[in-house]
Structure 1
Amino acid sequence: MMRFISNRLRHFSDSEEGSMVVPFALWIPLFIGIIVSGIELGSVTIRNTAMERALDQTVRDVRLGTGTVFTHDSIKQEICDGAAVLPNCMSLLKLEMVRLDIRDWSDPERGADCVDTSLPVNPLREFENGGGNELMLLRACYKYKPISPATGLGSALAKDAQGYSAIISTAAFVQEPL
């Protein structure tokens, strides 16, 4: 009986079956984290690029002053139309346009005004239409929910109380005279 147990133990210690289970179990979470972070980074990059491009195209239309009277809602609609990859754009995008005086310079407020998703009413922060030859700053802030808020890159993104992260784009332009 002792010989039988001894042979079985020796056979068990010499066997290499299942030897890859431990390294697999140790490395798979790291690889999954890298894959999920790559997907999150791609998602953020696509959203940021789409918003930057839409903002630049909209600012170009505003700057040229083609006779169209732009309002807050029309600029917001044009940005959302240009950035089709931003879901719920009209409700999650916040615009701020301020006049900057180059003769009496004061820095614009550093923090971007984003939609506060915890409040039912979100008033305009500041939106001024510029006149001819005036320097204007247009800042857009879009809130979105990360794909994986608890793992990889998604856990490192700054989030508000509801779990939304922000993408902020800024454009400055001089309003052409009519």
Structure 2
Amino acid sequence: MTSFRRFLKDESGTATIEFLFVFPIVFLVFTASFESSMYMARYVMFERGVDEVIRQIRLGDLRNVTHQTLKQRICESGIMTDSLTTCMNRMRIWMQPVNTASFAMTAPPVTCVDKASEVNTDEPPANEFAYGTDNDIMLLRICLKEWPMFPTSAVSVKMPPQPDGSVAMIVTSVFVNEPGA
């Protein structure tokens, strides 16, 4: 019984046990904070790139823009991704004119792009990407997928999760097609 009492009164190693209890929590908070700040920086750069390209379209600097050209211009505007091709494959653009008689808007697709399916580089159908005419109010929704750096800290990211484990960064913009542009 004396050796058992000696074992209970022994305080050596208590700092190590406290460290083992506290370290995982502190490390999880650190990784969640780091990942959240990286997503925030990427989202701000993505939104700025979209705003720059939309401004060029609105002012008439970009004429007869195609779906692929629009993707390429947005990706070239400084989004932090691996490469231009990767950025274009992870992005989905939905653009439709707004009916100004009733202001009824078509609902954009919920999902971004499907990682498992083949990437389609053709022009999307008219119900996903329409140019509109002069003086049309255009509603634009651009979705870019990113994958978590630390999947265990995904609780920190407050962006729409996708079925494949990625996170969707979504930017929505409205602009008017200028006459004669």
TM-score of the superposed pair, with normalisation by structure 1: 0.84
Matched AA of 1:33: L
Aligned residues with identical type, % of pairs: 28
Alignment partner, residue 94 of structure 2: 96
Alignment partner, residue 112 of structure 2: 114
Q: 1:28 aligns with which of 23, 43, 46?
A: 23
Alignment partner, residue 18 of structure 1: 13
Matched AA of 2:171: S
Q: Contact between 2:92 and 2:113, CA under 8 Å: does it hold in 1?
A: yes
Q: Contact between 1:148 and 1:155, CA under 8 Å: does it hold in 2?
A: no
What is the deviation of 1:156?
A: 7.2
Q: More deviation in 8-17 or 85-94?
A: 8-17
What is the deviation of 1:137?
A: 0.9
What is the deviation of 1:67?
A: 6.1
Q: After the TM superposition, which segments of 4 or more aligned residues of structure 1 sit over 6 Å from their partners? A: none
Alignment partner, residue 176 of structure 2: 174
* CA offset digits 1:97-154 (Å, max 9, x no partner): 1011111321330544511111114462511112221100111100111111123536
Q: Contact between 1:97 and 1:127, CA under 8 Å: does it hold in 2?
A: yes
Correspondences of 1:65-104 after superposition (within 5 Å): 65-66=60-61, 68-87=63-82, 88-104=86-102
Q: More deviation in 95-104 or 113-122?
A: 113-122
* CA offset digits 1:45-90 (Å, max 9, x no partner): 0111111000000000011113622111111111000133133211
What is the deviation of 1:93?
A: 0.6
Q: Contact between 1:135 and 1:175, CA under 8 Å: does it hold in 2?
A: yes
Alignment partner, residue 136 of structure 1: 138
Unaligned runs of 5+ in 2: none
Q: For the aligned residues, what is the CA RMSD?
A: 2.4
Give the distance between the partners of 1:177 and 1:118, measured in 2 at CA.
41
SS of the aligned residue for 1:150 comes to: helix
TM-score of the superposed pair, with normalisation by structure 2: 0.83
What is the deviation of 1:27?
A: 1.0
Give the distance between the partners of 1:157 and 1:67, measured in 2 at CA.
31
* CA offset digits 1:1-38 (Å, max 9, x no partner): xxxx94x6666555432221222111111101100101
Larger radius of gyration: 1
Give the distance between the partners of 1:130 and 1:60, measured in 2 at CA.
16
Q: Taking structure 1 as reference, are residues 101 and 157 closer, same or farther at Cα in structure 2, changes over 3 Å only?
A: closer
Q: Contact between 1:148 and 1:154, CA under 8 Å: does it hold in 2?
A: no
Q: Taking structure 1 as reference, are residues 156 and 53 closer, same or farther at Cα in structure 2, changes over 3 Å only?
A: closer
